[in-house]
Amino acid sequence: MDVVAEDKNLSRLTNPGPDDQLRAILKGSSFDDYNSPLFIAWQLNSACNLGCLHCCEEAGHSMPDEMTKEQALDFCEQIAELNIPYMAISGGEPLLCPHFFDVCESIRSHNISLKIETNGEFIDEKTALKLTDLKLRSVQISLDGATAETHERLRVEGDWDKAIQACKYLVKNGGNTEIVFVPTKFNIHEVGDVIDLAYSLGSYGVYTGKIMRIGRAAKNWDILSPSAEEYEKFFDVLKEKTAAYEGKMKVYYYPYDVIEELKYRLECPSASLLVVPNGKVKLIGPLPFICGDLKKESLSQIWGNYKKAWQNPEVIEFTKKVIAEPKLLAESNNWRQI
């Protein structure tokens, strides 16, 4: 029996990007060899209480045609039937979805590993306890600043104190809590302090990487995008903090940007699907292509569509255009059926 991958960040493991080591390890098992996805990222809803300047989903209001509770639970059953090991639920703000806990309970009843991405603002002591009882892989809280001022400048209408309090409640109850930090011109200088803060809060890990030029981030790119020098310092701090917290807390960062990711994906798509709130399934976040609709097709059929879609000349041509002209990333939320 061979251990082919060990102690890798989950998203890297199930979503191997331009990582030579992981690429070598998983050689011979391309996405096409898998009978079903290894990982599903599910944007459960589009509603959100915040209006973050960088929001890749352009979240705010609910979509009129979001999946109903019954459709969502049927999807959970299909995930279990296909024996998919890993899932992440995001949004919008997933805790605003009325059937959020029903969905999580269903997924966890099949022992599927589940991460939740949240702004943390609806996690009071009682909710923290409910989340902890689900034995989640982790609850990831977005913290975009070491101070309320910085966090709330980017996270419009956000409340830094509530996000911090959410971490405290989760940690107190023994929940696996992680911090996610997205660097922009406004907050990139605070990354080191955010990591120190995460440690002092008892977090299991910190995730970060370059901001993706999609959604509202694409629209606000000129004011948000850090410079090359700022990124250089950022990665220096990350290296230093990774070493400093070794054995105490995980510091995960992905050094590539969306364009580098797309170049790699053209050659080597991941064994994962991205489901948006109305049940449509995207090829990958930064591209506008939809390869299926869970309201009309089974998950298994959509996995077949997904495999074929990466061979579709329209997808290949458009992806090459985006690589040559990153401004086209602004199209990512103008979905196109293929």
Partner 1 sequence: MNFTEHTKIREEKFGTVVFDTLTEKIFITDQIGGDILRLIEQGKDLPVILSVLHDNYDGDEQNVEKDVVEFIDQLKSSNIVSV
The interface region with ligand SF4, picked from 89-97, 186-194, 203-211, 273-281 by CB under 6 A, is 89-97
Pick from 43, 45, 90, 113: which binds partner 1 (CB under 8 A)?
113
Pick from 11, 15, 118, 208: which binds ligand SAM (CB under 6 A)?
118
50 sits near ligand SF4 (criterion: CB under 6 A): yes
How far, in Å, CA of 279 to CA of 260, rounded? 28
Quick one: 112 or 146, whose CB is closer to partner 1?
Answer: 112
Q: From the list partner 1, ligand SF4, ligand SAM, none, which binds 180 (C-beta under 5 to 8 Å, kind-based)?
A: ligand SAM
Quick one: 221 or 310, whose CB is closer to ligand SF4?
Answer: 221
- What backbone torsions phi and psi does residue 216 show, to the nearest 5 degrees? -65, -25
Q: What is the DSSP string of 279-337?
A: SEEES-TTS-EEEEETTTS-HHHHHHHHHHHTT-HHHHHHHHHHHH-GGGGGGTTS-EE
Structural contact between residues 329 and 218, judged by C-beta atoms closer than 8 angstroms: yes
Query: Tokens 């890297």 label which residue?
Result: 12
Helix (H, G, I), strand (E, B) or coil at 67: coil
Quick one: 185 or 307, whose CB is closer to ligand SAM?
Answer: 185
66 sits near ligand SF4 (criterion: CB under 6 A): no
Distances 315 to 61, 127, 144 between C-alpha atoms, Å = 29, 42, 33
Shortest distance (Å) from residue 238 CB to partner 1: 21
- If one counts every other C-beta atom within 10 angstroms of the C-beta of residue 289, the result is 21
Give residues in contact with ligand SF4 (CB under 6 A): 48, 50-52, 55, 57, 59, 91-93, 119, 155
Give residues in contact with partner 1 (CB under 8 A): 1-8, 10, 13, 28-29, 33-36, 38, 83, 85-86, 111-113, 137
